[in-house]
Structure 1
Amino acid sequence: MLNARIKLRHLQAFLEVARQRSFARAAERLAITQPGMSKTIKELEEILDTALFERTARGVALTQAGLTLLRHAGPAIRALEEGVSALGEAHAALRWLRVGALSTVESRLLPEAIRRWQQAEAGEAGVNVVTGPSAFLLSRLRRGELDLVVGRMTEAREIRDLAFEHLYYERLLLVVRAGHPLAGVEPLEPHRLGGYPWVLPPPRTTLRQQVDSFCVRHSLRLPGRQLETLSLPLSHRYTLESDALWVAPEEAVRDALHEGRLVELALALEQQGGSVGLCTNASLEPSLALEGFCETLREVAASLVGGR
């Protein structure tokens, strides 16, 4: 068992004197006085009850006991330094997250979660957000290029061996600008929807599957005038300035509906909505930062559900 009286400063001083073969040069390298260096080595020799150095005409040389200590103390200190360095590098890496975001969470959940998480972190905490279709984001998550993906994706076939955690349900809405010919029409017959442009998610996306199901249920054929995009700002602006019908995530249009700039049509695209949650790669060990951010996502999600 290591003598509790031996401190790290004792071993650091011993190793430096052994390297420099001089108390004066070792003291200079460690930025302490020469008397201080001599005192530290003397303390170590007293604790070990043996001489570690002997003075020669060319400076100081290690005794046999000193050589024995050097063989063990040197690797031990280097291993400790490497461990501390690795911990620092890992800690820095843990404070940077790579998040895949689907359009269903871009407006409220994700911005608020990032704000709270960064505010709670003691130091720097960076977040890189990648947007796109669920298939694209989940493939990057599987390859380890993302730490998690957040959004509505439970119907995505690409989840497979990934771990999905439900947070809340989010509906897709059919919305139009205030003053639109269909705004306030109730009951609204489905066939009337085909006479206007549509803003909808691209094919082969989770959200588009819901649109296709809606069309099948109501024997509705989509018009040729379509804007296919996942861009919320583009969809919002185009809808406000045209007669288009927008298939929009509820989160993305909540404020505009409340303010009266957009109006939900009296024809539900879906009732309960889809499961919004977070998806992680179960084959990878989660970092402390990832665990902390996921907990923040849960807290924000709970507050959003409670505020509805």
Structure 2
Amino acid sequence: MLNARIKLRHLQAFLEVARQRSFARAAERLAITQPGISKTIRELEESLGASLFERTPQGVALTQAGLTLLRHAGPAMRALEEGVAAVGDVHLGAHDLRVGALSTVESRLLPEAIRRWHAAPGGQNAVGVNVVAGASAFLLSRLRRGELDLVVGRMTEAREIRDLAFEHLYYEPLLLCVRRGHPLAGIVPLEAARLGEFPWVLPPLQTTLRQQVDSFCVRHSLTLLSQRLETLSLPISRHYTLESDAIWVVPEEAVAEDLAAGRLCRLGIELEPRGGSVGLCYNASMQPSLALEAFCEVLREVSAERGAGSS
């Protein structure tokens, strides 16, 4: 049974401090004073008999007790918000789906699934889809807090997935691609040492895709030029690669059309032997809506067709 001393304002303050990693910024977001939010957190800690935050040079960090509360309070607050919204919704109780998308699914899987889902009968076209792109660590942390309903992409290597549920859909390889006419295009087999002669377009540090690149470089004793572009933006990466001699580390899905059209070429060396597992990640502590379940089924359907087409 919930402690009667714990009020909604206590949990709201806790979640905002955890999100902002700062009492001052949390107070500003909640439109209360900093002493007021400090008093609220202190009351919550006294009710729980545990310290929830500790001060660090960068602000405040969650203690182990704080992390435990966060795993439950975030989804619980989101479920409460959805319940209140459903009661007041005069239309079918529908709300936008909030989907996190990694770069591995931005080009084909997710757009096709959204198109097909909205075109299907049954009222799905009345529900919007709010897509948030970013690195796996960022998206999975939002999923854990209940701020996203689903994350789609390649993320099995991410440490942040540890207490979330993952469903495999298919394997997606990372490719090394260059523009048509590049000095390395058409060389098979290609010696890894030649790759160090050109700039690279890379996923940023601290991403799961970058870990695969770093492992490749270690295996081949390869040192990259300091001239490089680090980004998760597919449009920026594509344009830069087409207009330069850069080597682009890119998911196969993102360049399928350019490869077919001959605008880009796949280099004659494998970055990884099999590819990473692309799938659906969700917070098992949150009850999925009917709309979310329907959307996941469409994602499975599109993924199955993709696998059949590539076999």
| TM-score normalised by the chain length of structure 2 | 0.70
**Using the alignment, how far apart are the partners of 1:135 and 1:90 within structure 2?**
36
Match for 1:164 among 159, 163, 166?
166
Q: Do 2:156 and 2:276's aligned partners in 1 also have CA atoms closer than 8 Å? A: yes
Task: Specify the code of the residue in structure 2 equivalent to 1:213.
Answer: S
Contact 1:113 1:296 in 2 (8 A): yes
Alignment partner, residue 102 of structure 1: 102
- Indicate the structure (1 or 2) with the bigger Cα radius of gyration: 1
SS of equivalent to 1:209? helix
Return closer, same or farther for 1:154/1:233 CA change in 2, 3 Å cut-off: same
Residues 94 and 280 of structure 1: CA distance in aligned 2, closer, same or farther (over 3 Å) = farther
Could you tell me which amino acid in structure 2 is paired with residue 142 of structure 1? R
Provide Cα deviations, 1:152-195, integer angstroms capped at 9, x if missing partner. 00000000110000000000000000000000012211111011
CA distance in structure 2 between the partners assigned to 1:271 and 1:182 by the alignment: 20
1:213 is matched with 215
CA distance in 1 between partners of 2:196 and 2:284 (Å):
44
Verify the 8 A CA contact 2:197 2:225 in the aligned structure 1. yes
Runs of 4+ aligned structure 1 residues displaced above 4 Å come to 85-88, 90-93
- Distance, in Å, in 2 between the alignment partners of 1:178 and 1:257 is 9
Q: Percent identity?
A: 72
Give me the whole-angstrom Cα distance separating, in 2, the residues matched to 1:300 and 1:105. 11
1:95 Cα deviation from its structure 2 partner: 4.2
Matched-pair contact (CA < 8 Å) for 1:94–1:287: no
For 1:193, the equivalent position in structure 2 comes to 195
3-state secondary structure, aligned to 2:160 = coil
**Residue type of the partner of 2:185?**
A
- The 3-state SS of whatever aligns with 1:307 is helix
Quick check: 1:240 aligned with 2:242? yes
The alignment's C-alpha RMSD in Å is 1.7
State yes or no: 1:203 paired with 2:211.
no
Structure 1 counterpart of 2:261: 259
Secondary structure, counterpart of 2:130 in structure 1 = strand
Q: 1:4-53 CA distances to partner (integer Å, 9 max, x unpaired)?
A: xxxxxxxxxxxxxxxxxxxxxxxxxxxxxxxxxxxxxxxxxxxxxxxxxx
State the 1:88 CA deviation: 6.8
Q: What TM-score do you get using the length of structure 1 for normalisation? A: 0.71
Flag structure 1 segments of 5+ consecutive residues without an equivalent. 1-82
The answer for the alignment partner of 1:49 in structure 2 is none
**Deviation of 1:89 (Å):** 2.6
* AA of the residue aligned to 2:113: A
Alignment correspondent of 1:299: 301
Q: Deviations over 1:105-124 (max 9, x none)?
A: 00000000001111114251
Relative to structure 1, the CA distance from residue 93 to residue 276 in structure 2 (aligned partners, 3 Å threshold; closer, same or farther) is: farther
Q: Distance in 1 between matches of 2:204 and 2:90?
A: 39
Q: For residue 217 of structure 1, report the CA deviation from its aligned partner.
A: 0.6
- Equivalent-residue separation in structure 1 for 2:179 and 2:286 (angstroms): 45
Flag the 1:195–1:170 CA change in 2: closer, same or farther, 3 A: same
Matched position secondary structure for 1:158: helix
